[in-house]
Amino acid sequence: MADNSSFKTDRGAGGETHQHVPKSADHQTAEHLTTNQGIRVSDNQNQLKSGPRGPVLLEDFVLREKIFHFDHERIPERIVHARGSAAHGFFELYESLSDITKADLFQRAGEKTPLFTRFSTVAGGAGSVDTPRDVRGFAVKFYTQEGNWDLVGNNIPVFFIQDAIKFPDLVHSVKMEADRGFPQAASAHDTFWDFISLMPESTHMIMWAMSDRTIPRSLRTIEGFGVHTFRLVNAKGVSTFVKFHWKPKQGLQSTIWDEAVKIAGADPDFHRRDLFEAITSGDFPEWELGIQAFDQAFADSLPFDVLDPTKFIPEELLPVRPIGRMVLDRWPDNFFAETEQVAYCPANIVPGVDFTNDPLLQGRLFSYLDTQHSRLGTSNFHQIPINAPKCPVMNFQRDGHMQMTQPKGRANYEPNSLSDQGEIGGPRECPVTGFETFPSADDASEQGDKLRIRPESFADHYSQARLFFRSLDAPEQAHLASALVFELSKVEIAAIRTRMLGNLVNVDPDLAKRVADGLNMPLPKASPTAAPVLDMDLSPALRIISGPLDLDTLKGRKVGVLIADGSDAAEVTAVTTAVAKAGGKAMIIAPRIGGAKLSDGTLLPADGQLAGTPSVMVDAIAVVLSEDGCAMLLKEAAAVQFVMDAFGHLKAIGHSAAAKPLLDKAGVEPDEGVTDLGADFIAAGGKRFWDREPGVRTLA
């Protein structure tokens, strides 16, 4: 057995050597590895052993602390909304809202309030992909001068259920099936549709969930909603009902289902990467915060109950008033410390904002706080920096796991008289500036006997579902019907499909027939309804396609520029310059990541390798090839698929004359979206060409 005592170096597990660095004056002031207690570590490569090959000693506190912390690096993930991305930013108020609220952040025009916003999917775990068909959470934590206000909503203004007692059932049904553990992050399975088909109140939300809203192109191009009806209360104690809306300045944009599926395979982190790249490049995402403010008389005039979370107020009935903007301008320094540990709770409100008796909201006020205790392991989770208010915090809450504050004085109770004796008495309540709950209901019907019952005003489950579907543009209607066919085709139990079709008849008979035909099933009679189904005025504001936020622009979007050896340098420069001038980002894609040698002999590095960067990663493509380069790529399946998918996903395609054989092989047919590399391509680059769709896929 060799004697290792003469070795001058220690060896790591991989055979690497770690030289002992002699101590010096400079060494004492350099950054030094320490334990969590601040004790400097002399050797981070080897355990403390009894002899070179002997047993490890229990006294090795460096090892024990390091492994202990590693073993506990993962905390329980969120039950829902586990897959999320977030960023820091600010809210800037346009004009004072002192007439309707005393909330401090709404008093002074131009004032900026720091915030932290997290976007998320709902059904999948933390390790799922970014682009499944799913609702997106949209949660904003405002760090106001009066404490934290959490506006915790979704990218859809309504929800699946009317009462919070059904939330565990909803989530259990959409999560992985209990006996088999799949599917992950997908609603296309029996248990979800069994639940939905038995819960007519979910029908409206299903219209949104099956629409293009749940397959967004980017987190930067989604709307946000507070979902519930809240109250704003002014300094005189006058209450105003309010609905909160976030409108993306980048416009609304979705993907096509085939595109979303392929993005998931090409880049599971597609939305997170897009948000990161936009912020770090200075192209800061921005939303306007708007409100629908109304009184009890307006609420009473509506054919639905504003406390029903499965209903929304069409913008044509009550326009959204812009009151400020949110800009996300800083990526988190550490994903775990901030994005993963941030704890939102709808119960976190400030003076001037208050709740209503929405039964889903009332349940959320309890559920979120309880969840944070479970996830973060302590009642002191509010002391974690990302959750900590930026205003003073003073109370008599003490101790508990991971208590970070050090209160002074004997008093840990209130009232106390110690301040009268010259000691620290601690904080006191203040009736003048403290939060006051709005004192009474405006409507006497909100009071009465203790009952487990739904109000009659919640009974209409189909009118707004009909309103939503019929308001959509024709391609969106086809996408929604096709999504229903896809999802229900995954349902094994025929009775569930039949029951769901009966519900859809109440929404729109034509929609139900399209779905039934897609399933090759007979169309059943309409399901019984608890209230008459109304034909409400349509709401064009609900559209993504041809709607008010359908922006035909390249700003904030990517153009994939496909090149190969011999590509014309002047053409490449012209198209990339034009894209940048239009506010977009040109992404150079080549057969090899090292790039391609252009016609002038220069080597242009690539941003993406062709085989690993399909056209689903960009919003439009420019194919800039020489004759030789085109001939080479005609033999490359990835190049043919690159162009084929861009055409099939209805994107703009600009091309050099020499690239036409590649377009021909990919099945590209001339239309308004297939152009040369000039101004027509830049004008087309931000659009989808919906007239092309009937020729490239079959829809319900």
pLDDT per residue over 621-673, tens digit each? 999 999 999 999 999 999 999 999 999 999 999 999 999 999 999 999 999 99
Minimum mean pLDDT range among 154-168, 368-382, 503-517: 368-382
Which tokens is 184 given?
Answer: 């992950």
Residue 544 has pLDDT above 60, yes or no: yes
pLDDT of residue 14: 37
Asked if 263 contacts 270 with a C-beta cutoff of 8 angstroms, the reply is yes
Q: Is 506 helix (H, G, I), strand (E, B) or coil?
A: helix
User: If we measure between CA atoms, which residue out of 531, 497, 534, 528 comes closest to residue 512?
Assistant: 497
Q: Residue 572: which of 540, 606, 542, 549 has the closest Cα? A: 606
pLDDT tens digits, one per residue of 241-280 = 999 999 999 999 999 999 999 999 999 999 999 999 999 9
Average confidence (pLDDT) over 592-608? 97
Is residue 685 pLDDT above 50, yes or no? yes
Query: Is residue 28 scored above 50 in pLDDT?
Result: no
What pLDDT score was predicted for residue 401? 84
CB 64 within 8 A of CB 91: no
Q: In what order do the strands lie in the sheet with 674-675?
A: 608-609, 585-590, 558-562, 620-623, 653-655, 674-675
Which one of the listed residues 81, 189, 461, 479 is annotated catalytic? 81
- Range in 109-113, 361-365, 508-512 the model is least confident about: 361-365
Query: Around 326, how many Cα atoms within 13 Å sit in the side-chain half-sphere?
Result: 28
* Catalytic (active site) residue 228: no
Largest CA distance in the chain: 93
In this prediction, residue 61 carries a pLDDT of 81
Gap between the Cα atoms of 138 and 121, Å rounded:
9
Percent of the chain with pLDDT over 90: 76
Q: What is the pLDDT of residue 378?
A: 86
Whether 81 sits among the annotated catalytic residues: the reply is yes
As given in the structure block, the two tokens for residue 114 are: 């720091």
Pick the catalytic residue: 88, 148, 154, 503?
Answer: 154
Residues 97, 106: Cα–Cα separation, whole Å = 5
Stretch 172-181: mean pLDDT: 94
**pLDDT attached to residue 445:** 59
Average pLDDT over residues 179-207: 96
Structure tokens given for 83: 């897959």
384: pLDDT strictly greater than 60: yes
Predicted confidence at residue 417, as pLDDT, reads 86
What residues does 526 pair with on adjacent strands?
none
Q: What is the pLDDT, as a whole number, of residue 441?
A: 58
Its pTM stands at 0.90
56 pLDDT above the threshold of 80 = no
Q: Is the pLDDT of residue 366 over 90?
A: no
Instruction: Supply the mean pLDDT for the chain.
Output: 91
pLDDT above 90: residue 443: no
pLDDT in the model for residue 18: 36
Pair 567, 601: CB distance under 8 Å:
no
User: Number of H helices and number of E strands within the chain?
Assistant: 18, 20
In whole angstroms, how large is the CA radius of gyration of the chain?
A: 29
Q: Are 296 and 238 in contact (CB under 8 A)?
A: no
Sorting pLDDT into bands at 50, 70 and 90, what band is 30? Answer: low
- The DSSP symbol for 695 reads G
Which range is least confidently modeled, 22-31, 260-269, 342-351, 687-696?
22-31
DSSP H/E element including 259: helix 257-266
Summarize the confidence of residues 49-57 as an average pLDDT: 78
Among the residue ranges 6-10, 102-106, 434-438, 485-489, the one predicted with the least confidence is 6-10
pLDDT(25) > 80: no
Question: Is residue 26's pLDDT more than 60?
Answer: no
CATH for 84-157+216-306+313-383? 2.40.180.10
Amino acid 23: pLDDT: 43
Q: CATH number for the 558-695 domain, one of 3.40.50.880, 3.30.1490.20, 3.10.580.10, 2.60.40.10?
A: 3.40.50.880
pLDDT for the residue 686: 94
In the chain, domain spans: 84-157+216-306+313-383, 558-695
d(CA 380, CA 127): 27
pLDDT at 528 over 50: yes
Looking at 68-77, 311-320, 342-351, which range is the least confident one?
68-77
287-341 pLDDT tens trace:
999 999 999 999 999 999 999 999 999 999 999 999 999 999 999 999 999 999 9
Q: In the block, which residue shows the tokens 């990467």?
A: 273
Q: Give the model's pLDDT for residue 234.
A: 96
